[in-house]
Amino acid sequence: MLMHMSSASNKNYSKPVISYLKNDRDSLCLLLKKAQTNQQIESKLKTKLDPSFSKHFTLANINNDVAVLHAHSSAWATRLRYIIPQLLNIFTIDLGLKTIKTVRIKLASPPPKPASSSMSRPILSKASSETITQTAHNIEDVELRAILLKISSYFRPD
């Protein structure tokens, strides 16, 4: 039995992404604004610290009275913990964020490694290499045969 769909369900509700970013009440817009604000605060914070620190942490979040910094290694996390009083002063006095009462330092997960520009060469067992070679010799298509013979050459003896 076919049910009649209401006219409301037939409407196309897709909107361009930009419309979400322009609506100040939309959660995507609010998230973008918070990210931009945090990025500005992070930049200002880094200018107030010893330059050796600037490349080794990011401002992860500011929520209520807590600022969370992500250190890029455990060694830098320890160094940042030693200067938490200085960080609090920078947040409250220099940056005017008087509501911040706590600074938490967490270890950030390492960023994913970019894919290598050259793929590693696959390794075939001797049996696989021989099977592919035999298959190649039984194929009439010259290009396909050449490809299979090249693949069979990826055998590496143990």
Percent pLDDT > 90 in the chain is 41
Report the predicted TM-score, pTM, of the whole model to 2 decimal places: 0.57
119-130: b or e for each residue (b if 16 or more CB lie within 10 Å)?
eeeeebeeeebe
Average pLDDT over residues 30-36: 85
- Average pLDDT of 131-140? 87
Mean of pLDDT values over 72-99? 95
In this prediction, residue 1 carries a pLDDT of 45
- Max mean pLDDT among 3-17, 21-35, 91-105 falls in 91-105
pLDDT at residue 155 above 90? no
pLDDT band for position 84 (cuts 50, 70, 90):
very high
Q: What average pLDDT does the segment 118-139 reach?
A: 79
CB 102 within 8 A of CB 140: no
Quote the pLDDT of residue 150: 85
- Stretch 95-118: mean pLDDT, rounded? 82
Instruction: Name, in order, each residue with C-beta under 8 angstroms of 61's C-beta and a sequence gap of 6 or more.
Output: 38, 67, 68
Residue 2 binned pLDDT confidence (cut-offs 50, 70, 90)? very low
Choose from 17-26, 91-100, 116-125 the range with maximum mean pLDDT.
91-100
Q: Comparing 83 with 154, which gets the higher pLDDT?
A: 83
82-to-50, 62, 87 alpha-carbon distances in Å: 13, 20, 10
CA distance 58 to 113: 18
